[in-house]
Amino acid sequence: MLRALTLYFCLMLGAATLSPMSAAAQAVDPPSGDESLASEQTVEDIMRRQQGLAEGDINQEQLIGDRAAPQYDTEILDGVNGDPGANLWRAFRFDEDQISTQVRGPATDILIQDRGMWWWQVREGPLIFWGGILLLGTIAALALFYLIKGRVRIDGTKTGRVMLRFTSIERFSHWLLAGSFIVLAITGLLTLMGRKFLIPTFGHEAFALVATGSKWIHNNISWAFMIALVLIFVQWVWSNLPDKTDVNWILKGGGLLTKGHPPAKKFNAGQKLIFWSVIVFGASISASGLALLFPFELQMFAPTFEKINAVGVPGWFGFDPLPTALSPQAEMQYSQLWHAIVGFILMAIIIAHIYIGSIGMEGAWDAMGKGWVEEQWAREHHSIWAEKKLKKGDVAPKKSGAGSATPAE
């Protein structure tokens, strides 16, 4: 009798446990046709989306499902009751649903920003690869040029007299710009490439410290760079306007490819190219940097894309119009990519400038290091400017600390 009662209670307990699951299973009909496409997503679809490819033939409406009368179950979002939970998140992804958050402010209603994967793939792939190729290629080309051509020497006999090449304020502005840019370049490369190259070597904790410090330094030193950019523009813009002497200088390769040096004013064509590259690219880098510092106040790409679309530039190449309804996140992504691309170009230019101003030309340090240049050097590299200085009598015997045995650029 006791055994029979025990068996009876066990059977009743098992039936009570299984009955809710059976009822839930009977209440849900298996999806069919387009409904299954709207509620199911395969691993292949996810992988294709991460690679930036289309998700098969499933369009946005099929992914979202019927949004006319959604019936969300606030307790269960697993597809058993009401609208499948996956459809809810797809609606958020495509910005097709009303979103309200407790946090108020710009872009707080953007829960899923789809372009983030595209930006990350470009940043970690082509941007770092081709940027690195540009910098390393520039260094390799300069090293090869040095091995073939050697250092540019003075052809004539040094006179021992010197000319004032740059004033103290000019040199201050130059070194403020140069020093801040070098710091910005190093911290920028650490921030951009550190995750890929430093973490495997030094670990996450060490990189976190370096990245945090680099970001703080980068953001604050940028103001010095922008101030210096304005200073050198105001001081040197008039002397860097193109003129007919620049054509002859370019045709002769600045004397590097032919014997003798072509006539030049205070700045030759090569220096003018450096100047305008720094001004244009420096201004562009500053604008994108400000957009990154103040993403909710400054939108740089949406207005630019509107102007490009108005002219019809994308249609010239068979492309669709550029997007103009950009979220703050999308603006930051475009700004970051542009900031890095222009930064790589400017770094390559400055590397070449550093080469010419140091080991590439005899005594090149003195012009900016001390401000004075040897008379013979001035006659050879900037003959028009030197003649004007000589007519005014702006030449003096070599002073202690003013000139050196090697003239400067």
**pLDDT confidence band for 88 (50 / 70 / 90):** low
Cα–Cα distance measured from residue 140 to residue 137, given in angstroms and rounded to the nearest whole number: 5
- The pLDDT tens digits for 256-287 are 777 778 899 999 999 999 999 999 999 999 99
Q: What are phi and psi of 70, to 5 degrees?
A: -65, 145
The label of the residue with tokens 């369009």 reads 59
For residue 118, give every residue at least 6 positions away whose Cβ sits within 8 Å of its Cβ, in sequence order, or none: 52
Helix runs in 33-127, H state only: 34-39, 43-50, 60-64, 85-93, 115-122
Average pLDDT, rounded, for the chain: 79
Write the pLDDT tens digit of every residue in 327-374: 888 899 999 999 999 999 999 999 999 999 888 888 778 888 889 988
Taking the CA atoms of residue 39, residue 41, residue 45 and residue 50 in that order, the dihedral angle to the nearest 10 degrees is 90
Q: What is the CATH number of domain 115-166+237-397?
A: 1.20.950
Any idea which of 37-41, 132-136, 313-317 has the lowest mean pLDDT? 37-41
Site of tokens 């202690």: 400
pTM equals 0.74
Residue spans in the chain of domains classed CATH 1.20.950:
115-166+237-397
Using one digit for the tens of pLDDT, what is the confidence trace for 24-34? 334 444 444 44
Average of pLDDT values for 63-72?
A: 48
CA 154 to chain centre: 40
Percent of the chain at pLDDT exceeding 90: 41
Distance CA 275, CA 377 (A): 21
Confidence of residue 399 (pLDDT cuts 50, 70, 90): low
